[in-house]
Structures are given as structure tokens and as C-alpha cells.
């Protein structure tokens, strides 16, 4: 059963023209060109294709961009590429006890220091605190959602930090936001970053809890919806 996590107002459908840099995409709304801000620094090459339909929100007319690109149409649904909205959706799951594997949370704080890294969340539970790192998995490969779409030194560092914590007996989670409809499982993208895939296998062996959450953007409801709070995770052997 789907659960609504975020609702939006003033959603505008647009057409991708081209990505100008890491943070700006040229789009067309109606017949008007527009510069859209994007906060996902992944390559997103399968999404940011000329002519692809997408969804934007208006931004205050004070900067260089006029709107915020947050989702890309996939059939009747949308892939939620905006990492901040993925985080908001995940936090709603925490507040409403939507995740059966992470229940009893009393509070959390963002950007918790762990070694040389800032981990997305430090979550307080009756059994003790746990560190939780959320990663955006919006690359589709058949029935799988995958991460990453390019090599990520930062992602590797996060996995190493959490692995070291687990080896010391601490609580550690890595959660993948599979932010697309009709995904049946998560799998790391070994072709893009083989080292990260190996590190994830080592992390799981060390006691890091690796999970995935299935969510998507519903254009008819203008809402982000949760469809699987515990999506299967498939880590390749070795």
C-alpha cells in the first residue's frame, strides 16, 4: 500500500533542453526557455536528455535560475532526482514509523561527524544511537535501481567510515533511496565503481545494515509516495 510522504503545489511540467553545468539545466516550460536549478550532482545521463519531459517548481526571482527541476517523467510516474526531497521523504518515513527495520526513533540530527566524514543522520533509538547514510539510487537497469552512476570517492569514504564504526560495535546503516516506480530490488553499479561495490560487501560482513527504500513521484497526486519500505538489496558475491 502506497503512503504519501510529500505533497507539492505549483508543479510545472517542462521539457529538458540541456544540462549547462552541475547545478543548472536549461528547460522549456510551454514555449518559454527557463533555467532550472538541480541539486543532484550525479551524471543523470539517462534522464537529462533533450526532449525528455520533467517536473519543476518555481523559485524566488532573485537568482539566476527561475525554477527547480526535481523529477523526470517515466511513463505515468516520475523519478525523483532531487536529493533534498529524497531526504525529506526519508525523514517523513522516520517520523511516521514507516520503516520496520528502523523503528522506535525518538529524534535525529543531520550531518553527524564520523571520523573524516559527515554522515547524513544520527538517529536516537531506545537501543542506542545509529548513524544512517542515505544515497540516491535513480539509475535504472532492468528491474534494479542502482548507485552510483559514476565513480564516487566521497561515497567510498562514507562506506569505510561506517564499516569501521560497525567493527567497533556501533550501529550503522546505509540506505539507498530507489526513487523510481516499478523497481523490484537495489543493486550497486559495479560497472561505474567497482571499489564501492566491494566496500559495500565488506560493510555488510562487518555488520553495517544495508537497506533500500522504494519511492516515486506521482504526477497526478503531485506527491512523493512510498511503495516499498524494505526493498530487497542484492550485493554481488566477492
Domain count for the chain, please give it.
Answer: 2
Compute the distance between CA of residue 214 and CA of residue 69 in angstroms, rounded to an integer: 20
Q: Is the pLDDT of residue 39 over 60?
A: yes
**The CATH number of the domain where 29 resides is what?**
2.40.50.580
Q: Can you give the pLDDT at residue 105?
A: 86
Q: Is residue 90 part of a domain?
A: yes
Omega before residue 140 within 30° of 0, cis: no
Residue 158 phi/psi, 5° resolution? -60, -45
Q: Can you give the pLDDT at residue 61?
A: 76
pLDDT 10s digits, 53-104: 999 999 987 788 999 999 999 999 999 999 999 999 999 999 999 999 998 8
> Is the domain of 169 the same as that of 191?
yes
Q: Can you give the pLDDT at residue 41?
A: 86
pLDDT 10s digits, 179-235: 999 999 999 999 999 999 999 999 999 999 999 999 999 999 999 999 999 999 999
Q: Is residue 238 part of a domain?
A: no
Compute the distance between CA of residue 179 and CA of residue 81 in angstroms, rounded to an integer: 7
Q: Can you give the pLDDT at residue 127?
A: 85
Query: What is the domain extent for residue 52?
Result: 3-79
Q: Is the pLDDT of residue 22 over 90?
A: yes
Q: What is the dihedral of CA 24, 28, 29, 31, to 10 degrees?
A: 150
Burial class, 96, CB count within 10 angstroms (exposed 0-12 / middle 13-18 / buried 19+): exposed
> Is the domain of 59 the same as that of 128?
no
> Is the domain of 156 the same as that of 225?
yes
> Is the domain of 29 the same as that of 87?
no
Compute the distance between CA of residue 166 and CA of residue 204 in angstroms, rounded to an integer: 9
Q: Can you give the pLDDT at residue 152?
A: 95
pLDDT 10s digits, 125-163: 888 999 999 999 999 999 999 999 999 999 999 999 999
> Is the domain of 197 the same as that of 137?
yes
Q: Is residue 216 part of a domain?
A: yes
Amino acid at each position: 500500500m502506497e503512503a504519501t510522504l510529500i505533497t507539492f503545489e505549483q508543479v510545472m511540467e517542462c521539457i529538458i533542453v540541456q544540462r549547462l553545468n552541475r547545478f543548472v539545466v536549461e528547460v522549456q516550460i510551454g514555449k518559454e526557455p527557463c533555467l532550472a536549478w538541480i541539486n543532484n550532482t550525479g551524471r543523470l545521463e539517462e534522464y537529462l536528455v533533450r526532449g525528455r519531459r520533467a517536473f519543476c517548481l518555481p523559485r524566488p526571482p532573485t537568482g539566476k535560475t527561475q525554477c527547480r527541476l526535481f523529477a523526470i517523467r517515466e511513463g505515468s510516474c516520475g523519478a525523483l532526482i532531487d536529493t533534498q526531497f529524497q531526504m525529506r521523504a526519508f525523514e517523513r518515513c522516520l517520523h511516521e514509523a514507516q520503516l520496520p527495520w528502523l523503528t522506535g526513533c525518538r529524534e535525529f540530527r543531520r550531518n553527524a561527524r564520523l571520523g573524516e566524514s559527515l554522515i547524513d543522520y544520527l538517529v536516537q533509538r531506545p537501543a542506542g544511537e545509529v548513524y544512517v547514510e542515505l544515497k540516491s539510487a535513480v539509475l535504472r537497469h532492468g528491474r534494479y535501481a542502482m548507485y552510483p552512476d559514476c565513480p564516487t570517492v566521497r561515497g567510498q569514504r562514507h562506506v569505510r567510515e561506517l564499516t569501521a564504526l560497525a567493527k567497533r560495535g556501533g550501529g550503522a546503516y546505509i540506505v539507498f533511496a530507489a526513487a523510481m516506480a516499478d523497481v523490484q530490488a537495489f543493486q550497486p553499479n559495479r560497472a561505474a565503481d567497482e571499489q564501492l561495490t566491494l566496500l559495500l560487501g565488506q560493510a555488510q560482513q562487518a555488520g553495517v545494515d544495508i537497506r533500500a527504500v522504494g519511492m516515486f513521484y506521482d504526477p497526478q497526486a503531485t506527491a512523493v509516495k512510498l511503495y516499498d519500505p524494505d526493498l530487497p538489496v542484492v550485493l554481488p558475491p566477492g
